[in-house]
Amino acid sequence: MTVPTNRFPDDFVWGCATSAYQIEGSPLADGAGMNVWHRFSHTRGRVVNDENGDIACDHYRRYESDIELMKQLGLQAYRFSIAWSRILPEGTGRVNPAGLGFYERLVDRLLEKGIQPTATLFHWDLPVALDDRGGWLNRDIAGWFADYAESVFRRFDDRIKLWATLNEPWVVSDNGYLHGTAAPGHRSLFEAPIATHNLMRAHGAAVQAYRATGRHQIGLVVNIEPKYPASTSSEDVAATRRAEAQMNRQFIEPAMLGRYPEELRDVFGEAWPDWPASDVEQIRQPIDFIGLNYYTRAVVRNDPGAWPLRAAPVRQSQVAHTEMGWEVFPQGLTDTLLWIKDRYGAPPIYVTENGAAFADPATAAGDVLDDPRRVEYFRTHIRAVHDAMRAGVDVRGYFAWSMLDNFEWALGYSKRFGIIHVDYATQKRTPKASATFYSGVIASNGAVL
């Protein structure tokens, strides 16, 4: 494949990404069951300002006008997630037709507008009925997830041609079960490895179900944050390896190579079990693509006090950071794409998320909000994708995170990732300059970068 010097291949796919709990609102509407982020955010002290997704962007009710906005931007694809608890209110068993109905209307409207729907089956909103049965700690969840996946595949595979099983399983295991900063809010060295393993078993089981019932493409979405040692000391280099194994290889490695990184034993100690070989075999199912979520890098030093990694990030001075405190480092995206190619057998890759939270100015110039730092972030990162493609990486598409400002999990509404501003008091949408910029990128296939 030759990639033109000044633009992207004609069949490259440009889109935006969102997730169900972060934008939909109406989490209990039309017979939906409760999900763990609803319960977590309604527990005092868990989310900044005790905010929650009860309304969010009200996309559940405004999806038609939101799709109209997507159309105006010229989006070719839209990556959303399906809320498990809308489809199966108890997590297993009874299917809720009204839940399927919402995604059916969404998908059909996208197709009518010429926008390719791509769906993620799990973006962190586990049904509470399943959490009450142990959630990701219960071995049975692999089968529960595969059954849920199968009912969705059967209904939508004729119209959805690109599927993802899990979004960022690292966040679920690490924030949800190790550190307790995400739902379900557990803090346990022993639980996190079990959650990891069952997430990956569920991924494998869903891919198997897809091969039996689906006819298109399915993959896994991972967040990768390349790790660079703060010094050449052996301590810093070893700490970097631990951090890199724990965040970047804990999930992709079993999926692609059928083994967990050895460093996880060093990170988790006796809490990291020897998993049955048959489990790991089941996790390694051939997949059609890797979805990469890339935001930043980390420079890492040894830190004996940092539990449990014994590694800590070193903040870089004199360089730009986003509102998340994340360093702006586009080279890391090129490096990561090349790393996936070299380490995991050159799979097709979609950049399933990339973007930046910045505080927007209070006033609008005209009817577009000026967000020059976000424009610059997209410009440099999309160039970084192009650089990797010129170096031979098979990147098939790029999804900006996010279409709309939305509920940023434990950080509530305080962080704005959207290329479209949302006024939460009125639900008014206002495009930012980054939306106009991204439209131009799409229309010119990258020639305006």
Contacts with ligand NCW by CB under 6 A lie at 19, 22, 167-168, 171, 181, 223, 293, 353, 401, 408-411, 417
- Residue 364 vs 411, nearer CB to ligand NCW: 411
Kind plus residue range of the DSSP H or E element containing 66: helix 59-73
- Residue 164 vs 435, nearer CB to ligand NCW: 164
Question: How many helices (H) does the chain have, and how many strands (E)?
Answer: 16, 13
Instruction: Supply 14's token pair.
Output: 């440009």
Amino acid at 299: V
Q: Helix, strand, or coil here: 229? A: strand
- Among the options 263, 327, 353, 408, which is catalytic? 353
- Residue 275 vs 401, nearer CB to ligand NCW: 401
**Token pair 């004199």 in the structure block, residue:** 318
* Residue 334 C-beta: closest distance to ligand NCW, Å: 19
Compute CA distances 134 → 27, 140, 148, 160, whole Å.
22, 9, 17, 31
Beta strands in 224-333 (DSSP E): 227-229, 289-293, 298-302, 311-313
Q: Give the other-Cβ count within 10 Å of 111's Cβ.
A: 13
Compute CA distances 433 → 45, 189, 298, 370, 376, whole Å.
35, 44, 28, 5, 11
- Residue 410 vs 449, nearer CB to ligand NCW: 410
CA distance linking residue 432 with residue 421, whole number of Å:
6
Residue nearest ligand NCW, CB atom distance:
181
* Residue 255 C-beta: closest distance to ligand NCW, Å: 17
64 is known as an active-site residue? no
24 is known as an active-site residue? no
- Residue 45 vs 305, nearer CB to ligand NCW: 45
CA distance linking residue 274 with residue 387, whole number of Å:
40
* Residue 432 C-beta: closest distance to ligand NCW, Å: 17
Instruction: Supply 36's token pair.
Output: 């763990």
Strand partners, 395: 349
CA distance linking residue 296 with residue 365, whole number of Å:
30
C-alpha gyration radius of the chain: 21
Structure letter (DSSP) for residue 363: S
* Residue 167 C-beta: closest distance to ligand NCW, Å: 6
Beta strands in 227-369 (DSSP E): 227-229, 289-293, 298-302, 311-313, 349-353
- Among the options 24, 51, 150, 168, which is catalytic? 168
Strand partners, 249: none
* Residue 267 C-beta: closest distance to ligand NCW, Å: 19
- Residue 23 vs 100, nearer CB to ligand NCW: 23
* Residue 280 C-beta: closest distance to ligand NCW, Å: 25
Beta strands in 294-348 (DSSP E): 298-302, 311-313
The dihedrals phi and psi of 432, each to the nearest 5 degrees, come to -95, 165
* Residue 315 C-beta: closest distance to ligand NCW, Å: 16
- Residue 280 vs 410, nearer CB to ligand NCW: 410
Residues annotated as catalytic (active site), given as ranges: 168, 353
